Amino acid sequence: MARKKQEETSTRKVTVNAQIEGAGIVVDQPITQTIEQNYMPYAMSVIISRALPEIDGFKPSHRKILYTMYKMGLLTGPKTKSANIVGQTMRLNPHGDQAIYETMVRLSRGCEALLHPYIDSKGNFGKAYSRDMAYAASRYTEAKLDPICGEFFREIDKDTVDFVPNYDNTMKEPVLLPATFPSILVNSNVGIAVSMASNICPFNLKELCETTIGLLKNPDYVLEDTLLGPDFPGGGYLVHDAAALKQIFETGRGSVKVRGKYQYDKSLNCIEITQIPPTTTIEAIMDKIVDLIKQGKLREVADMRDETDLSGLKITLDLKRGVDPDKLMQKLFRLTPLQDNFACNFNILIAGQPRVMGVREILTEWIAFRMECVRRRVYFDLAKQKEKLHLLKGLQKIILDIDKAIRIVRETQEESEVVMNLMIGFGIDETQAEYVAEIKLRHLNREYILKRTEEVENLEQSIAQMEEILNSPKKIKGIIISELKDVIKKYAKPRQTQFVFSEDLEDLDGEEETPSYPVHLFLTRDGYFKKITPQSLRMSGEQKIKETDEILWHHETMSDIELLFFTDQQQVYKTRANEFEDTKASLLGDYIPAKLGFDENEKVLGMVLTKDYTGNLLFFFENGKVAKVPLSAYETKTKRKKLSGAYSDKSPLIAIFECKGLEEDEKQEFVLTSTAKRKLLFHAGMIPLKTTRNTQGVQVMTLKKNQLAEKAEPYLEGMFKNPHRYQVKTLPALGALLREEDLGEQLTL
């Protein structure tokens, strides 16, 4: 029994394998063939049927939603639940309901993503300017078509566009919508296909329609006369750049600079940002501002709040006392997405082919499309009127003898022969006879028939006019012009995005101003740095440092001073005091090697302050040599943070001091001490100036074998009882041994 079952199973497997020919066999295939057979159909589907808009201004997903809503009677009827719309749209769009609803949300008035929304919404549809304000589920929201959609469906039933079957061949849908205005440029459209993308910026409806009217009248019309530039639904300011706009108008590629709109409330000392660029969100701007504050690059802001409510977008920045709001906003425009570029890429499907076109070419293509729609509409109306005229002419013949018509009908034996007998009796064709035969008994009076036949003359005039239109492109253009004027009258809005001219913003790209205020700077031997305001220092003067550490350097200066940190690896790191946060005496401060990115095991040897790189530096080495280098040797045109070869590497460095110029050199004196306890007092002016940073300097102290210079310090009045004992007039010199009388009197820093 078991063997029999095994044989049956084996037979079944053989049968299955026989049905699937080549199953399980791996066959080598050239990559070009794989791409052509598998990838290219997908790529073409994405390009043609999904991602790129067509000349009517819609992607397939948009068109399917709007057409479904039109068929549901939502152009004039009451709103319905969004879930109903999504469900009905799935008859045309076989994608998930969430994808359909997301597309519908972007088209809605509540989302504020479009300059002229296509869907009149009720409920929470989120906001295009917010990343975190999510839309409600489709079961909670309601929608209907906005009145402007009447311009898409007014003549859709008059054979103005082609219809194709839906995916399961149960209904038909339009290939395009017969838009009466160039909607392709009225609302923004973003699409990412395979190997190409599209990014269309919106233009003001009135400006665009007037420009189209100008092109209809004159193909060489200057676009800039009426089309000023993009108009974004979120408003803001467009930084006017004539060259950039001209490039977009001509090529369809380029970028425009958009910045947010703000107002300053003097009574509350705060800035209120009410409009932002279309490429960013509230959260992105606030995150960037927080990052700048943490990095110490933005000290003017005391507090920040998102006060967006039902009245609209608002970001409030509370300012510190004395801050110039306009200068702060210039800084924010430079450092945050409050000023951003909108990159244009007018890639549109024309007859199934993607084309990147300028504004003139797009409007020319739309005019050709619209002229064909009008021609088809007029031809459809002409056919209907000709058909009606034909019927009425048959009715005219009946009027000559109504009694005869009644007699023919009454005397006909078979119902099927009524039409034939009327045709014979009055000399009319079958269509006319069918029409006469269907007239109600109550209408078989002379008055009714005379009224109907009076229409014949009007119909003949109307038909003549339609035939004249069909034969005259000029008259078709005239119809389009009148329709565009009607659209302007009904739906035009004031411009949302205002202009600010680039010549008025010359100072924006300059170096940002840094606040300047008094500070105390401290540097410890282990490399800890503190920047403390005088107020904070008065409140807590006790410095916190590590047990094995000590403060080697303290100076009172201004916060915009530049700092040069010299290390034991002949390198200098350049920064500003403003790059460091204000701290307290009770904290350790910033660890310089970590803050400035020192190399491994690199240590700070000294710090120099400068504002304009004037003056000189004195480098004291263990071999008794001293080098004088101009501070300007460390100045760079670019903002380099690190310089190599900062001083000579021939002997270890023991000290760095700054002297302020020739006159002060003669007054400034230094004391050099050797390991033999000899001291040498000399004027800084005795050291010749060298131009190279890594100069070895000159021999100042003569050292015997195994002796080194171990300490250098500025001379202070009263340091020695008899300073002439240690002072020299020529260099190099051996120096003098320290007397006992100077041991107790010697002052140290």
pLDDT digits (tens, 9 = 90+) for 599-629: 888 999 889 998 888 888 999 999 999 999 9
Contact (CB, 8 A) for 589 and 529: yes
Report residue 234 CA to chain centroid gap: 12
213 against 397, higher pLDDT: 213
**pLDDT on residue 641:** 83
Rg for the chain (alpha carbons), in Å? Answer: 44
**pLDDT on residue 514:** 62
Q: Is residue 512 part of a domain?
A: no
pLDDT digits (tens, 9 = 90+) for 338-359: 999 999 999 999 998 999 999 9
**pLDDT on residue 29:** 82
pLDDT at position 554 over 60: yes
**pLDDT on residue 506:** 47
CA distance readout (Å), 476 to 151, 359, 363, 468, 726: 17, 22, 16, 10, 107
Give the global pTM. 0.69
Same domain, 584 and 703: yes
CA distance 350 to 356: 10
The tokens describing 197, both together, are: 């993308």
Q: Is residue 414 part of a domain?
A: yes
Domain boundary pick from 491, 508, 527: 491
The CATH number of whichever domain residue 450 belongs to comes to 1.10.268.10
Same domain, 476 and 536: no
Q: Spot the catalytic one: 140, 517, 613, 634.
A: 140
**Domain housing 73:** 58-178
pLDDT digits (tens, 9 = 90+) for 712-729: 988 888 788 888 888 888
Cα dihedral 26/27/30/31 (nearest 10): -20
User: 573-604: string of b/e by CB count within 10 Å (b at 16+)?
Assistant: bbbebbbbebbebeebbbebbebbebeeebeb
pLDDT digits (tens, 9 = 90+) for 510-543: 445 566 788 899 999 889 999 988 888 887 767 8
Q: Is residue 233 part of a domain?
A: no
**pLDDT on residue 396:** 81
CA distance 535 to 540: 9
Same domain, 577 and 717: yes
Contact (CB, 8 A) for 731 and 682: yes
Same domain, 729 and 650: yes
Report residue 446 CA to chain centroid gap: 73
The CATH number of whichever domain residue 309 belongs to comes to 3.30.1360.40
Same domain, 432 and 551: no
Backbone angles phi, psi at 145, to 5 degrees: -75, 140
Q: Is residue 256 part of a domain?
A: no
**Catalytic residue at 140?**
yes
Number of structural domains the chain divides into: 4
502 against 730, higher pLDDT: 730
CA distance 60 to 174: 10
CA angle 101, 104, 108 (to 5 degrees): 135
CA distance 161 to 380: 11
80-94, 447-461, 520-534, 670-684 — which one is most confidently predicted on average?
80-94
**pLDDT on residue 102:** 95
